[in-house]
Amino acid sequence: MDPWISSQPSLSLDLCVGLPPPLSHHHHQAPAAAAAVAMVKPKLQLVEENFLQPLKKDPEVAALEAELQRMSAENRQLSEMLATVAAKYDALRGQFTDMVTAGAGAGGGGNNPSSASEGGSASVSPSSRKRKSESLEGGSDSPPPPPPPAAQHHLHMISGGGGGDQMECTSGEPCKRIREECKPKISKLYVHADPSDLSLVVKDGYQWRKYGQKVTKDNPCPRAYFRCSFAPTCPVKKKVQRSAEDNTILVATYEGDHNHGQPPAPAQQQQPTSDGSGKSSAAGKPPHAPSPSPPAPTPPLALHHQTEAVAVAAGEELIRRNLAEHMAMTLTRDPSFKAALVTALSGRILELSPTKD
């Protein structure tokens, strides 16, 4: 089992009913899970407020303690269930990793069926972008683009390295080769998204402005084109498209390099805005910033020169976040879990109700 899971406060199912809430720092670790659990939080707070009041009678205290013990037992049960689920997930993840590794070894770079089309389009776009770059920025020899500091539930991140593995052209076409070399670095993110969520929004901490959408040939799902709107001169572009094979996977392709720091709004809360409207959910724009603290001293710029190993490490972190959110969503969507929770809480509320005596 993944030790990380058991260390996550928001995943330990430690509801702490009746106790001062350990509202600690898990916002930084598993914001999505915290957000999901927040659905039941108001009820908990209601209970807590009553519980923190001076206790009236000893029998009542005894009853509450008994109830607390019962809840604790239930909590332990749920924790065990979670451990089992996590173990199964770990096994599946191992299998998935093996499959990906095997696929990469055989395909030589194309580990995703959709990556063929992505790569194909990427090989076309630079030329058109080149003509633009001639007029816009005078040959920015900016460093290779960074994998953006993704703060969402990413499944996989691949730092494409526009210069690296895509330079396999041996047909001896100098012009083509030069074009390839001028190509901005491309990195891909594989993001797990709710299939019902029709919006092609990948919240990665940056502000994006959508400037186009296109249905591509080999994928019925439209591809959305985004531009970094935080800085007018930022050359970074992003393409987001659902995987043709798995509708729950969003493939985000980043091109270019941010020439600015990360916007102040952290992409921490990834409330699944699965309203399908895709309207007011500005692309990549976090709904609101929970902490008014100023932006960190431009971590993205620091990340720009990270090695691929770091990118992989970030991918691991993202996988964990993804797991956290997925589990939280699964739990909160489980009717039996909700029913049990509501039963326990309503019983407690009735017990503490002033109209009781």
- Least Å distance, CB 123 to DNA, is 7
- Smallest Cα–Cα separation from 320: which of 99, 31, 38? 31
Q: Which residues of the chain form contacts with DNA (CB under 7 A)?
A: 117, 120-125, 127-129, 131-132, 176, 179, 199, 207-214, 216-218, 223-225, 229, 237, 239, 278-280, 282-283, 285
- Least Å distance, CB 131 to DNA, is 6
288, 170 Cβ separation under 8 angstroms: no
Q: Which one, 56 or 176, has the nearer CB to DNA?
A: 176
- Least Å distance, CB 160 to DNA, is 13
- Least Å distance, CB 278 to DNA, is 4
Q: Which one, 214 or 333, has the nearer CB to DNA?
A: 214
Per DSSP, the residues of 319-354 read HHHHHHHHHHHHHHH-HHHHHHHHHHHHHHHHHH-G
- Least Å distance, CB 219 to DNA, is 7
Burial of 270 (0-12, 13-18, 19+ CB in 10 A): buried
Q: Which residues contact 356 (CB under 8 A, 6 or more apart)?
A: 350
Q: Which one, 273 or 332, has the nearer CB to DNA?
A: 273
Q: Which one, 8 or 117, has the nearer CB to DNA?
A: 117
> For residues 242 and 193, what is the distance between their CA atoms, to the nearest angstrom?
9
- Least Å distance, CB 129 to DNA, is 5
Q: Which one, 72 or 121, has the nearer CB to DNA?
A: 121
Tokens of 115: 């990556």
SS3 content of the chain, % helix, strand, coil (to 5): 45, 10, 40
Q: Which one, 16 or 224, has the nearer CB to DNA?
A: 224
160, 166 Cβ separation under 8 angstroms: yes
